[in-house]
Chains A and B, each alone.
Chain A
Amino acid sequence: MKLGWIIRGVLLGALAVAVFGPLVNMLLWAVAERWYFPAKLPIEYGFSYWERVFRPRGNAMESLFNSVVIAGGTVALCLAVALPAGYALARLRLPLRSLILLAFLLPQAVPNLAVYINVARIFYSLGLNGTIAGVVLVHTVHGLLFAVWITTAAFAAVDRELEQAARNMGAGPLRTFFTVTLPLAAPGILASAIFVFLESLDEFTGTYFVGVPDVMTLPLLLYNASAGGNYQIASITALILLIPSIGFMLFVERFLRADVLAKMGG
């Protein structure tokens, strides 16, 4: 009995360290002025690195702006493709649907780097290299697989008899889609939007090949900082990277609660 509690306590503690340890470490680095090897804690605290990051030539605000614009654009483009594709796939018969969804996985088997190098070459010839549009395109390709998968599942879960009831009441196909199918699939679609947004915010490799040096995003900034051994700037950038994630989550959560969850109620 007692032993059980001790084991449980230790396990929970370990979990807490695993989850929050890196975060605490990051927070400490963000406010450390000096921190050398043998010291367990920073030797000196201060905000001079924050000042450096937010200096007009510090790139942080521009990268934040780029990251958000790219993530937003990626979500919009992904949904524009995934909504019709997911709906069409969901209405296919089952074995065919599974086959197509699996076929979507094939490109993932090819090493990403090789693909990105070629994409970068093609984009260069199209004048897309170093543009936000180019980066959005790369992120879209990356996020589309999951967006299509999730929206397909969401649409497939909508009972077809509900659509037939709507048609029976005189609604045309578009009306049926927007008043019945889409609202019922909304939670799944929002989930895919969140997923794509966060993936885009985090994306590094594709941005590196297509965007650099003209389009800087937060992950690239972070990479530059930590490659240069500047853990303070890397930590501060990582913290900034949290802002759009949390903001987007709050936005979606509010939308979910107000509009969908209430009406989903069981």
Chain B
Amino acid sequence: MAGGPASVEFRAVVKRYGAVTAVDGVSFTIEPGTLATLLGPSGCGKTTTLRLIAGLELATEGQILIGGRDVTRRAAAERDVSMVFQSYALFPHMTVLENAAYGPIVDGTPRKEAHAMARAKLELVGLSGFEARMPSELSGGQQQRVAVARALVLEPQVLLFDEPLSNLDAKLRRRVREDIRELQRRLNLTVVYVTHDQQEALAVSDRVIVMSNARIAQAGSPRDLYERPANRFVADFIGDANVVAAELIEVSGDRAKVVLGGIALELERRGARPGPVTVAIRPEALLLSADRPAAPAAPGRIGKAAYLGTHMEYTVTSALGELFVIDRMPSRAFAAGAEVWISLPGTGVAIVPE
């Protein structure tokens, strides 16, 4: 098969199941050798998008290109794409080695050579010595690595992961996602990775494609999405931002002066016009203090307070509305019902163009 990573391109792809539109006019390009995540809430069409790339579903409309070649009508077996399924989908009647060697054997590679290829990939994922075991004799994390080895063995142009961490415990999750990222960089793979966990997406991706209701809500680098959300949905979904109403009073070049809850701020304009605008405020961008600070501030009252070890989480009622606040200094805790002052140092606040 053709070596090297390939790009993946969607051109206005639509997938319908009867009356349900699972993917609705989606277009994107994933550069070769990068890791892109498809992020979004349950049912937004992530898995369907992944299966369209693999050829396990055929597009109703639009075009799909892999490495610049149109594969829209190609069957799954003809696409140089490997998938790690959410359930891992290991063959229960084959050993670990037979599972990993399945691809090359189907390909017509002599058994001995296929087994050698499989052994090499099993070693790569740290599973040497497990060759003779049955999948049922492995832990969840080990099964996941067999699935990765099986997918890697043909050195595919594109590697797909469907929520690969969802069956692992919280600790293992962090390690495995780093392993996947490391592998992607070391082997220079194009990886498309599905998750509904925004932290996971921000941590591993070069590029995040946020989906909502079968469409793309925003695509960009993790920093882009976090700092410059394109709409309410992205602002809320990534980092639980507070979306509040504000007034734009003055424009100068690409900067704009905005007033919210009596506090004036200078923000990037992002195409907004004078008048009412929407602003996203990160929960950790809001500063709480017991006494009125020197900077402009708005009064508020603590609703709920929760201690989470590294930080406190509050809901605060104020002129800006109901706010979700994260305070990184749990030693200075406010009790529910306490009167506080809210100020905005300026970072972590952005105009949402919508």
**B208-231 vs A, Cβ < 8 Å mask (1 yes, 0 no):** 000000000000000000000000
Tell me the residues in window 29-86 of chain B with beta carbons closer than 8 Å to chain A beta carbons. Answer: 54, 56, 75-77, 81-83, 85
Interface of A is mostly: helix
Instruction: A94 to B348: give the CA distance in the assembly, Å.
Output: 51
Instruction: Choose one: B85, B93, B107, B136; the contact of A170 (CB below 8 Å).
Output: B107
Instruction: Choose one: B75, B87, B106; the contact of A169 (CB below 8 Å).
Output: B106
Tell me the residues in window 295-340 of chain B with beta carbons closer than 8 Å to chain A beta carbons. Answer: none
Question: Which stretch (A59-67, A74-82, A248-256, A258-266) binds chain B?
Answer: A258-266
Instruction: A183 to B98: give the CA distance in the assembly, Å.
Output: 14
Tell me the residues in window 116-170 of chain B with beta carbons closer than 8 Å to chain A beta carbons. Answer: 134, 136-137, 150, 154
**A161-181 vs B, Cβ < 8 Å mask (1 yes, 0 no):** 110111111111001000110
Instruction: A169 to B89: give the CA distance in the assembly, Å.
Output: 12
> Among A164, A165, A175, A180, which residue has the most Cβ atoms of chain B within 10 A?
A165
> Among A164, A168, A180, which residue has the most Cβ atoms of chain B within 10 A?
A168
Q: Are B107 and A165 in contact (CB under 8 A)?
A: no
**B79-108 vs A, Cβ < 8 Å mask (1 yes, 0 no):** 001110101011111100000001100110
Q: Is A184 an interface residue (CB 8 A)?
A: yes
Residues of A within 8 A of B81 (CB): 168
Q: How large is the interface on A (under 10, 10 to 19, 20 to 34, 35 or more residues)?
A: 20 to 34
Residues of B within 8 A of A165 (CB): 83, 85, 89-91, 150
| Size of interface on B: residues with Cβ below 8 Å to A | 25
Q: Closest CB-CB distance, B158 to chain A, in whole Å?
A: 11
Instruction: A168 to B81: give the CA distance in the assembly, Å.
Output: 7
Q: Are A170 and B154 in contact (CB under 8 A)?
A: yes
Q: Are A171 and B93 in contact (CB under 8 A)?
A: no
Instruction: Choose one: B82, B92, B93, B136; the contact of A168 (CB below 8 Å).
Output: B82
Q: Are B150 and A169 in contact (CB under 8 A)?
A: yes
Q: Are B56 and A168 in contact (CB under 8 A)?
A: yes
B108 to chain A: closest residue by CB: A170
Tell me the residues in window 147-167 of chain A with beta carbons closer than 8 Å to chain B beta carbons. Answer: 159, 161-162, 164-167
Residues of A within 8 A of B77 (CB): 167-168, 170-172
Q: Are B136 and A265 in contact (CB under 8 A)?
A: yes
Q: Closest CB-CB distance, B88 to chain A, in whole Å?
A: 9
Q: Are B154 and A184 in contact (CB under 8 A)?
A: no
Q: Are A175 and B87 in contact (CB under 8 A)?
A: no
Knowing A169-B154, A170-B103, say if A164 contacts B87 (CB, 8 Å). no
Instruction: A170 to B102: give the CA distance in the assembly, Å.
Output: 9
24 inter-chain pairs at a CB distance below 8 angstroms, sorted by A residue, are A159-B87, A161-B85, A161-B89, A162-B91, A162-B92, A164-B56, A164-B85, A165-B89, A165-B150, A167-B75, A167-B76, A168-B54, A168-B56, A168-B76, A168-B77, A169-B102, A169-B150, A170-B77, A171-B77, A171-B102, A179-B106, A184-B92, A260-B93, A264-B93
Known: A169-B82, A171-B102. 16 other contacts (CB 8 A): A159-B87, A161-B87, A161-B89, A165-B89, A166-B91, A167-B75, A168-B54, A168-B76, A168-B81, A171-B106, A179-B106, A184-B92, A263-B134, A265-B134, A265-B136, A265-B137
Q: Which residues of A does B touch, CB under 8 Å? A: 159, 161-162, 164-172, 175, 179-180, 183-184, 260, 263-266
